[in-house]
Structure 1
């Protein structure tokens, strides 16, 4: 009897060891990928920062679709438009979900529309977004966008050395005005400062590989707080987000009760809560995620644009030449000028390509098993779209590391002449499938207005070495870590293109922008009120 028990224990041990050994192994019919090791799979080689660079290196080796094993879980990386079109567009009903992100759930309770799992709450949030962010509704808010863009020019005129924060203020103030009817006249305005502080932490904690893999190894959640810094960080982010987002929501609701509405989107959201099936909790996070989407993305794009214009002065020269010939020097540009500015449009497209704001987008997850090109994608796989890798593929783009808007003049998608673009889409920088950014129309207006204004009014050049007087080249790869591609603050020389341009900027700021601002300057702090009095004398 003892020998039988011993044999059984031996066999069970062998079986258990074999099962453990298979954890992390790539199953048959999965797409290829880097070699795995038992238990960890590819977890030991998963990049902890700037993951899009490593993902792109692997794509060049393993192809447009490859797999990574994160312990027992599967990650699929797409770096080709054919796979993206088929899996995320045509099969969007299956790939609409998001992977479970425990950290995101701890911070937002699962109510962040961008990160939320597919379900009733996400559908309510998405339906609300589509209802208020239609092209017609967005156009109704064009005056405040244009006025804020005029302040950017005025700020650059008065304090060009602070261009980096001027742009950050712009993007935050626009979305705050449109959403909550309350603008941020300064970068230091309380709400703007609070947002930028918490958003930086939020981006860091969400970057793939930056935190312990608690989704794969849930037991890590039980590690004591003093040995798990991500816990304290998550708690701080949650507290700071809720203070800002629900404070703004309550302020907006109070304005409605007093009959002081000014047409902001969140007024409509609050008034339609019962009809939409929403709640205060959903509405608070709905507004918060739109602030996140409208602030960092727009400012990151415009900061990258300036960085690239400095590094590639010939592009700037062509942009100056085109906009000068069409708009002239007697007025500022408007959206009506856009159809006659093809090179300016190409600059925007090339900036999206060269420095996509979300290099790996936000990962999807498939709700059903999928088969693509003979590969099996198991249900519940995390699916990354390597937007960076697509946009920097030398098989698709001639000299992809060069900032060359002319490629979009020659070809709608900027690709080489022989590339099949039947599965391409022009706006992949805004996401994929049913998860595409609902604020795309609002964002496009901001990018158009500011790109035109910057090219019309200013020249951007490298800073000069104080000892030699020679230009110091800017570093176009000096970016913050995080889920978004945000250039680190950099120095440059900004000059207005002529005294006449400066006079027009001053005229438009005082005669057109300030009267619009006054509708949105509500409940400002004493510091903001004092600053406005001094700055508008």
Structure 2
């Protein structure tokens, strides 16, 4: 007969095996989702390339809320405006955290406003961001946004083939100007080059699947660096960020010490109030860096997608031209005040945000249990706001893959008519939700409005012709594998709508020189030479 000890040992072993094999299983209180396998859960099918496409497919299969198991961890994906409203807006006090990210902790030491955990440091930095990013302060920076938009028009007029780089320069220059008080006048400006050398590496670190899943398998933190490429990459990006962001911060400090060189940039205020707010050196530098990252990504992604859509859907461009000619005319350039009288242009802006949201997937972390539709989202679970799936739901939007601004003329939120009154509908969903909604909304929305009007008023965006004269339309699905939604470079034939339009662009560029100069105290000598040469060229062309 077997001894009691042997029976006990077998029972314990069986129990441990059962518990191990249960790892990866979906708990009964969770919403449904793809079938799991022991230990891995859904890790073996978790998408690593354009993940929002597969996750949106699962939303259509399992509903507006479903779950994934990543080992013993839980991911809950929400893909409807109602779910966003109930889980992230109404329950924002429970869902304002971010998932743990060991890489972020190494690179930013927990001081990244967008990625850091919900706690005292985040609340303090968010409070400061809200104090500087008011509508009143944003109004003070509209002259440089107008000026940079005009330079973008001039660059597209004179160097149309370089439009991708010109858009990146525009977006980077605006956010550098309003944040650190120093613009990037050229595509070869040192700070611009440093940012675009660093940022792809930073995005790779943040991209799920790029490295070992340290947060789900914590023992990987102790693997030696020779076998853990992420350790060296994190160190490299940390140094690159600190060299750029803290260098800009020091320049801002020095400018504050000189009379007549203040320009009202956000970091001037942060530096002055750092002691009052309880900010240390790292908090000041990383707040500025976070604003630069957020502002550069969103505006350039929007503008590149805008041009892609206008080229691929010429009927949209035709309607917008007709509206601008009727309301603004061809004898002057658009002003922001015109935007209220341009419903179709406003619809174009809303449709860009819907069609290709800049952040298709936004992660959160539940700080406590949250109940939705009878399911329990457990404390500690990762919550993914699937904006792409939300905006491409065929039950909500007619022909969602089509770029069709008319939907926002026919319905306030672009939805099918009977869904207009659903809770949670709003046209700023692309800017986030709850306590994590974008603090720089006023600056970003102004840039998208003025750029949309200016580019549509100034240019025709036409498909390029190949060697045989055949028009080649861009691939509307050719998007980069990145956290932000960027189209890969494409070819387009950019033409001024008339010689009169071109002349007005040149005159406007010359008129905005004083607005540029306010943010040029600290630009490099080589940039100053290029700026002077460019302005002489413009004056000769008038």
Shorter-chain TM-score range: over 0.9
1:14 aligns with 2:21: no
Unaligned runs of 5+ in 1: none
Is 2:81–2:423's contact at 8 Å kept on the other side of the alignment?
Answer: no
Rounded Cα–Cα distance in structure 2 between residues aligned with 1:64 and 1:56: 9
Show the counterpart of 1:344. Answer: 345
Show the counterpart of 1:532. Answer: 531
Show the counterpart of 1:500. Answer: 500
Q: How does 1:256-267 map to 2 (within 5 A)?
A: 256-259=256-259, 260-267=261-268
Tell me how far 1:369 sits from its aligned partner.
Answer: 0.9
Secondary structure of the 1:69 match is strand
Is 2:172–2:184's contact at 8 Å kept on the other side of the alignment?
Answer: yes
Secondary structure of the 2:465 match is coil
Show the counterpart of 1:448. Answer: 449
Paired residues, number = 534
Residue range with higher mean Cα deviation, 86-95 or 413-422: 413-422
Show the counterpart of 1:425. Answer: 426
Give the RMSD, CA atoms, in angstroms. Answer: 1.2
Tell me how far 1:273 sits from its aligned partner.
Answer: 0.7
Is 2:82–2:422's contact at 8 Å kept on the other side of the alignment?
Answer: no
Tell me how far 1:9 sits from its aligned partner.
Answer: 2.1
Rounded Cα–Cα distance in structure 2 between residues aligned with 1:21 and 1:417: 48
1:521 aligns with 2:520: yes
Deviations 1:284-316 (A, max 9, x none): 000000000100110011000000100000000
Rounded Cα–Cα distance in structure 2 between residues aligned with 1:280 and 1:64: 43
Q: How does 1:61-80 map to 2 (within 5 A)?
A: 61-80=61-80
Secondary structure of the 2:380 match is coil
1:386 aligns with 2:386: yes
Rounded Cα–Cα distance in structure 1 between residues aligned with 2:94 and 2:75: 16
Tell me how far 1:7 sits from its aligned partner.
Answer: 2.5
Deviations 1:77-113 (A, max 9, x none): 0011111101100010001111111111111111100
Rounded Cα–Cα distance in structure 2 between residues aligned with 1:236 and 1:372: 42
Show the counterpart of 2:60. Answer: 60
Show the counterpart of 2:539. Answer: none
Is 1:326–1:340's contact at 8 Å kept on the other side of the alignment?
Answer: yes
Unaligned runs of 5+ in 2: 537-542
TM-score if structure 2 supplies the norm length? 0.97
Rounded Cα–Cα distance in structure 2 between residues aligned with 1:118 and 1:165: 36
1:331 aligns with 2:332: yes
Secondary structure of the 1:482 match is coil
Residue range with higher mean Cα deviation, 373-382 or 341-350: 373-382
Is 1:49–1:207's contact at 8 Å kept on the other side of the alignment?
Answer: no
Is 2:145–2:447's contact at 8 Å kept on the other side of the alignment?
Answer: yes
Deviations 1:237-278 (A, max 9, x none): 111111100000011011112333221110000001111111
Show the counterpart of 1:162. Answer: 162
Is 2:301–2:358's contact at 8 Å kept on the other side of the alignment?
Answer: yes
1:311 aligns with 2:312: yes
Deviations 1:331-351 (A, max 9, x none): 111111011100000000001
Secondary structure of the 1:272 match is helix
Residue range with higher mean Cα deviation, 501-510 or 217-226: 217-226
Is 1:208–1:483's contact at 8 Å kept on the other side of the alignment?
Answer: no
Rounded Cα–Cα distance in structure 2 between residues aligned with 1:202 and 1:421: 38
Secondary structure of the 1:364 match is strand
Rounded Cα–Cα distance in structure 1 between residues aligned with 2:235 and 2:397: 44
Secondary structure of the 2:501 match is helix
Secondary structure of the 1:332 match is coil
Q: How does 1:249-260 map to 2 (within 5 A)?
A: 249-259=249-259, 260=261
Tell me how far 1:27 sits from its aligned partner.
Answer: 0.7
Tell me how far 1:421 sits from its aligned partner.
Answer: 2.7
Show the counterpart of 2:84. Answer: 84
Show the counterpart of 1:151. Answer: 151
Show the counterpart of 2:279. Answer: 278
Is 1:206–1:482's contact at 8 Å kept on the other side of the alignment?
Answer: no
Secondary structure of the 2:74 match is strand
Tell me how far 1:534 sits from its aligned partner.
Answer: 2.1
Rounded Cα–Cα distance in structure 1 between residues aligned with 2:81 and 2:15: 42
Tell me how far 1:196 sits from its aligned partner.
Answer: 1.5
Rounded Cα–Cα distance in structure 2 between residues aligned with 1:102 and 1:522: 39
Is 1:33–1:68's contact at 8 Å kept on the other side of the alignment?
Answer: yes
Rounded Cα–Cα distance in structure 2 between residues aligned with 1:446 and 1:159: 21
Rounded Cα–Cα distance in structure 2 between residues aligned with 1:312 and 1:518: 38
Tell me how far 1:219 sits from its aligned partner.
Answer: 1.2
Is 1:108–1:285's contact at 8 Å kept on the other side of the alignment?
Answer: yes
Residue range with higher mean Cα deviation, 222-231 or 333-342: 222-231
Rounded Cα–Cα distance in structure 1 between residues aligned with 2:151 and 2:422: 40
Q: How does 1:104-123 map to 2 (within 5 A)?
A: 104-123=104-123
Rounded Cα–Cα distance in structure 2 between residues aligned with 1:34 and 1:209: 19
Rounded Cα–Cα distance in structure 1 between residues aligned with 2:160 and 2:244: 29
Tell me how far 1:3 sits from its aligned partner.
Answer: 3.1
Rounded Cα–Cα distance in structure 2 between residues aligned with 1:423 and 1:148: 35
Show the counterpart of 2:416. Answer: 416
Rounded Cα–Cα distance in structure 2 between residues aligned with 1:29 and 1:109: 35
Displaced runs of 4 or more, over 4 A: none
Tell me how far 1:479 sits from its aligned partner.
Answer: 1.2
Deviations 1:108-138 (A, max 9, x none): 1111000110111101110011101111110
Secondary structure of the 2:484 match is coil
